[in-house]
Structure 1
């Protein structure tokens, strides 16, 4: 709001140099509030404290002093030269001090403390945008009086575009999450099962003892959340049980077809990372230990 008041005054004054001095005073008061408001916004975003602290009002004391000076001592119209140089430059310096402190709070939080805070990207964008407007006004004597207004307009459009883009991304993520929670149809389930079998059996990824659920999910073109939901909800298994099933089936085949290999060697070759894990998983799936299973099948 303080920025809007200041920008509005600048535009009106540019096109009407005889603008009523009360409007000019309102614009300068708004300008004096920009720095403290930016600081308070930054502090609130970092702390997460949304309740208003009455003690913060002391930051606006210069506004009260400025209004009192204009009303009771010397108005803008009575001494334009003094107001346009000393007062305005003092307001810009006051604004700049609060900007520097706002930037310091952000740098300390992100780079020194290495902590993120609420909507940090948006907060940084706002503070940098206000800083750009401050630079435009501070250097307007070398460029144009409307530079600040034009900078403000550009930043409004830019921030609006950023907000719309972020909103679209949030909506897309929500839709993706919603879709990932939907149970797969018969056709989709069959296709995914075929893809998993191709990756695990044809490419023999089940033999990797370090295979994890996120890695396998990526191999079959699913997010970890989608793949985990498929295993848990569609197959009623956890990942450990799921991958162990493939390893046990491979071990059963090797126990029959490769009698020259030891039980331990077969377990490691099938992806089990220890003999005890191999024995436990195999017995749970078949009701027999690997050695007993080999003996039983060899007698058939």
Structure 2
């Protein structure tokens, strides 16, 4: 092995080893067990396995096919783990749907690996499975970027005024995307690029992450948004968000959509969903459901007052509630009386 190859092997193997160590840190040794850290640690572990196999294959062509299968299979978990790391950190969601999602992929990996082992079906793996793996990998990165595009745009346009957590998640996404890009270019045999380039990119990005963690005295503000629950938007930002909300809710009547979500509304006013959540909870002192229901109830009161031919249940559906009981409960909470009593009072006045 030439000196140049020895250097490549050293840095590639070092990256895989340190990636494994850093994955253990995120999985087991962070002071607070944020869900986003667990997903990031799992993603680093899957990447480290892929990098280790890449390095060994590049310098030892007679590597057993089982190791090749493990390396390729690990790629099917990199995308999902990154997707949920960003989702849980940026959108601050703890949905348990990820358990079923990852269980399906794990079962698929084990089933295909058992029925069609690489050793017996190398052509199938090299011609078809590899294409599927890279397509799946790309799709998860695409959806990760698309769902969080507002945040990433903000970081690119105004890096200096972005928060540490915004920069952190943008860097995590960009780093993972760079690794995928190098691997993909190596796969299609782009000039002067091979899969070992992806391994070296991983090593570089890994040390950048380590430097950031070592540089900062505290890291909690990196991993999730809104750790300080009482933190408010400043007065100028709050006024802008309030004006945008009032305009969009009035002009488009978004509240009439029974499936309206925080993300849908944040995209309409072009701010990150975590920032909208922070504004509602800390500046307005109300959650998303209460905020939207107020518009629905106000509209329902207008309809009840002006039209006594509609049934109260139909009014609830018209303004965006998906059930009679939900409408009646929200109406009484907001007005202090039932829709029927409100209707009677309106007819008597």
TM-score w.r.t. the length of structure 1 is: 0.49
Structure number with greater CO (CA < 8 Å, separation at least 6) is: 2
